[in-house]
Structure formats: C-alpha cells, structure tokens
Structure 1
Amino acid sequence: MPVSPDAQIHPTAIVEDGAEIAAGCSVGPFCMVGAEVQLAPGVTLLSHVVVEGDTEIGEDTRVHPFAVIGGIPQDLKFRGEATRLVVGKRNRIREYVTMNTGTEGGGGVTRVGDDGLFMAGCHVAHDVQIGDRVILVNNASVAGHCVLEDDVIVGGLSGVHQWVRIGQGAIIGAVTMVTNDVIPYGLVQAERGELDGLNLVGLKRRGVARSDITALRAAFQMLAQGEGTFQDRARRLGAETESEYVRQIVAFITADSDRSFLTPGKG
C-alpha cells in the first residue's frame, strides 16, 4: 500500500493517488502531496506544505508551513522533461522555503544532503547539489547548478550565482553576493563577496588540530601573496604540504570549474 496505515493524514490534506507515504509520517492540515512524491519514515509536513513533482524526502525531515518542495525549475529552457528532487534525512525546512527539481541540461536531479537547516524564505534552485549539515539562513538564495559542499553556511539575504561551487566548511556572511567559487574553509563577506580569510571559528568548533589550522593559515597567505597565478600557487602548495586540509583546498582549486575563484584580497 503506497500510504502506510501508520501514517497520520489530516482530513483536510490532499494526497494524490500514487504518492508513497511511509510509517511514522505526519501530513498536517491543508497540505498537498503529489502523485510522484515519496516520503520516508518519520517525515513531518506541519501544515499548508506543498510537495510535488518527482520528489523524495528522507527520514525524519520536518517541513514547516507554506514551503513548496519539488516545484518545477525557474528556467525558461525547461520543457516539462522528467526530473527529480532528492532531499536527505533529518533536514529542517522552515516556512516559505522553495526547492526545485532539476533540468535535463543540468543532470536532471537537484540533491540536498542530510542534517541541513533551511531557514525561512530560502531558495534552492534547479540542479543544485548540497552536501550534509549545510545551513542557509533566512532568505538566502542558491541559483541553478551550484555545488555547496558539507558544512557550508550561507548568511541571511545572501545570493549565490549560478554554477558557483562553495567548498567544505566555508562561511558566507549576511547580505553578500557570491559570483565566484569559494575555497574550502573560506570566509566571504562584503556586499560583493570578498574572500576575507578563513572560517577559523568553524574549524575550532569542529575540533581541527592546531597544527592543521596553522597550516591552513600559512596556505592562505601563500595563496594571497605567492608568485604566479592562483592555480600555480595552489599546485605548489599541493607539492609542499602535509596537511590533508590544505590538500583539500588544492584539490578544489585544481578541479574543473565553470567560474573563476574568489581570491584573497579580491572580489
């Protein structure tokens, strides 16, 4: 049976034929669940939530009122092709959040990892790939095709330009526009985003060893002031460092990218 007898469905909710709702789910008043939706065990839709499209929501995720999850992409190239949204486990999705399905040109799947917090009014666009433990603060918007790695924080009222990659553990300050890739553990702030240092608070909270933090500080200085191009400096770092954290930054910089990088001291 697509809808578990153990699921709690409010009488005012609309659940279309074909929807799969697992045991322990709760679908509150005036929610709408589309025919291709899959809700894993323990998912809670509080009230007035719309979940549509080919959308999968992972275990114990909680969705607050007026969120719209699985809507079609805001992309003029979209022609109704079959695409998906996959949301992981234990996410907290607050009021008025929107998350769109993918597009054929972007791989067809928008994907959100586990244990994220998406505060009120956030937008996750088509084909975005979001890692685990990501936080989008109120009214942050992530445009199409972006990649946000694990443990990223995007401040309130900030925007991330399409195709941008934000590396693991980076933090974006409030009211910031990010138009270029951000290295792992980077700190970005200012109206037109500037790479202003490292996310030292986040590193310390994660219990990163002092030796690795020292290595990251030295690496940042070399990226800022060393000779040659930004990529040249990164490659030299890769040849010299013994820190896995620094190697992670090097791998990020030398990987394929559709955007240039935010570099130290430059927007």
Structure 2
Amino acid sequence: MSLIHPTALIDPAAELDSSVGVGPYTVIGPHVKIGAGTTVGAHCVLEGHTTIGRDNRIFQFNSLGAIPQDKKYAGEPCELVIGDRNTIREFCTFNIGSPGDRAVTKVGNDNWIMAYVHLAHDCLVGNNTIFANNSQLAGHVVVDDWVILGGFTVVHQFVRIGAHAMTAMCSLLFADLPPFVMCQGQPAQARSMNFEGLRRRGFSPERVSAVKAMHKALYRDDLKLDDAIERIRGLTERTPEAASDVAMMLDFLGQMSPQRGIVR
C-alpha cells in the first residue's frame, strides 16, 4: 500500500524517501526534502527550500517553509532545516530564514513542539526542547538544548535562551534568559533555577549545588553583574565536576547584548 494519500499534491521535483508517509490534501513544493520514516499529516503545506530529517512526526494543518514575515524579503532562496525525531503538533508555522541574517531557520533533534507554535525567520532551536501550546518566537531567536517554554510564552526578536532554562505560562521575554533559569511574568523575571529538570537529566548533587551557587550570585546576593560573573568564575575550583556548567554560564553571559541584558 502506498504511504502517500492519492489526494496529496507533491511536486515531482520534491525529494521524499520511499518510507515517508503523506496524509490527504497535503501540498509539498519542489524544493522540499524529507528523510526516511517521517510522516506528514493531512492538510499540511510544506514549501520553500525545506529539508526535514528522519523519523519526524508532523501532525495535520502545519505550514512549514513559508516565506518570512519580513517586508524586506525579496524571494531569496533561504532555508528551513528540521532535524530528526521531532514531534510537531497541529497548526504550527515555521518560516524560512531571511537574507539579512543567517538565511536559515533551524530546528535540531528530538524536540517536542505542541500546537500553534510559531518560529519566525532565522530562529535556531537546539535539541530536546519542549515548546508548549502557543509559544511564539519572533525573528532571530536562539533557543539552546533542553529548554522548556510554557504555554503562551512570547519571545522578542534577537533574544537568546540558555540551555536547561524554563519559562512559566504566559511569560514575555524581552531580555536574554541565562542557562538553568526559571522565569515568569510580563516582562519575565527570574524565579529560581530548573533544579528538578536537572535532576531528571542526571545532574549529580555537586553539579546541582554549583547551579544553586550561580543562582545565588546572579539573583540573591544583590551583586552587580560583573561581580556575580567573577564569583561564578571561581566555582570551577571549588566544584570541578561542574566545570562545563560554569563554562556554559560564563560563555552565555559573555555574549550578552548591552541593549537587551539578561532576565534578572
């Protein structure tokens, strides 16, 4: 039995592995490539220069690869690249990149993306993230691995979200959110660190303790940011097991935009 429904409209130039399933009334354009084991539900539109990896599950009513919502866009061959083993639920919209930036919107592997999520042009999403319903990313947003976005989270353009961070429902992010931080509010404010998430991912007690110390330096001891960074830098000597976690935090803070700052 064919895995492609007879009502699906697939351009002859599209490249689909023989194991790809396509539901009824889905439209797939000429520059789309889809890897083995991926399934695409009914009434989807996949267009643009879009590359989708293996074993993704794309539910019905998705729009992937449409042109960016950018008045400056003039038809350039920008891209959308989606990795492997992602779940993309209903009514999501992922746009291609724009020539004014990296020209690609990219989603990594093993992400769980719920209904009505929007990824604007030039967003970069890492691996193992969870985006709850109606999470909305403006252009040029970077989301690192293991991030969880609560429902109705809205992220301003050019904001970065560090690994293992988490937002509460209806959070509004105007500033960068450092790794491990949990935030809530409009605009978002730091509330704690994602300690339970870290334990579930196998962080040792020593590493969790170092994350607690970073939280204390950034948010509890009323330090200026430069002084907090210096205190965090010293954690490597006291807790060598957490050297990679400290390095990740310092790298993130070192790239902070003076215009945006961080959620504090």
TM over 0.5: yes
Deviates more, 1:72-81 or 1:62-71: 72-81
- 2:172 matches 1:171: no
Deviates more, 1:224-233 or 1:143-152: 224-233
Q: Distance in 1 between matches of 2:161 and 2:252?
A: 9
Q: Distance in 1 between matches of 2:218 and 2:52?
A: 40
Distance 1:28 1:217, change over 3 A: same
Could you tell me the TM-score, scaled by structure 2's length? 0.93
Contact 2:47/2:65 (8 A) holds in 1: yes
Deviation at 1:8, TM superposition (A): 2.0
Q: Distance in 2 between matches of 1:202 and 1:190?
A: 20
Structure 1 counterpart SS, 2:100: helix
Deviation at 1:16, TM superposition (A): 1.0
Structure 2 counterpart SS, 1:110: strand
2:15 to 20, 23, 26: 20
Q: Distance in 1 between matches of 2:256 and 2:177?
A: 13
Deviation at 1:259, TM superposition (A): 2.6
What 5-or-longer segments of structure 2 have no aligned partner?
Answer: none
- 2:254 matches 1:259: no
- 2:123 matches 1:128: yes
Deviation at 1:228, TM superposition (A): 5.5
Q: Which letter does structure 1 place at the counterpart of 2:74?
A: R
Distance 1:231 1:19, change over 3 A: farther
What's the C-alpha RMSD, in Å, of the aligned pairs? 1.6
Correspondence for 2:206: 211
Deviation at 1:227, TM superposition (A): 6.8
Structure 2 counterpart SS, 1:8: coil
Could you tell me the TM-score, scaled by structure 1's length? 0.92
Deviation at 1:232, TM superposition (A): 3.7
Between Structure 1 and Structure 2, how many residues are aligned?
Answer: 258
Q: Aligned residues: percent identity?
A: 37
Deviation at 1:246, TM superposition (A): 2.4
Correspondence for 2:28: 33
Deviation at 1:239, TM superposition (A): 3.7
Stretches of 4+ aligned residues off by more than 6 angstroms: none
Correspondence for 1:3: none
Deviation at 1:78, TM superposition (A): 1.3
2:133 to 130, 138, 161: 138
Deviates more, 1:248-257 or 1:41-50: 248-257
- 2:196 matches 1:201: yes
Distance 1:24 1:7, change over 3 A: farther
Alpha-carbon displacement from aligned partner over 1:112-150 (angstroms, at most 9, x marks no partner): 000111101110110000000111100110110010000
Q: Distance in 2 between matches of 1:115 and 1:11?
A: 30
Correspondence for 1:231: 226
Alpha-carbon displacement from aligned partner over 1:10-61 (angstroms, at most 9, x marks no partner): 1100001210001210111000000000001111011111100000011010
Distance 1:96 1:227, change over 3 A: closer
Deviation at 1:80, TM superposition (A): 1.3
What 5-or-longer segments of structure 1 have no aligned partner?
Answer: 1-5
Deviation at 1:222, TM superposition (A): 1.4
Contact 1:125/1:142 (8 A) holds in 2: yes
Contact 2:35/2:52 (8 A) holds in 1: yes
Contact 2:95/2:105 (8 A) holds in 1: yes
Correspondence for 1:73: 68
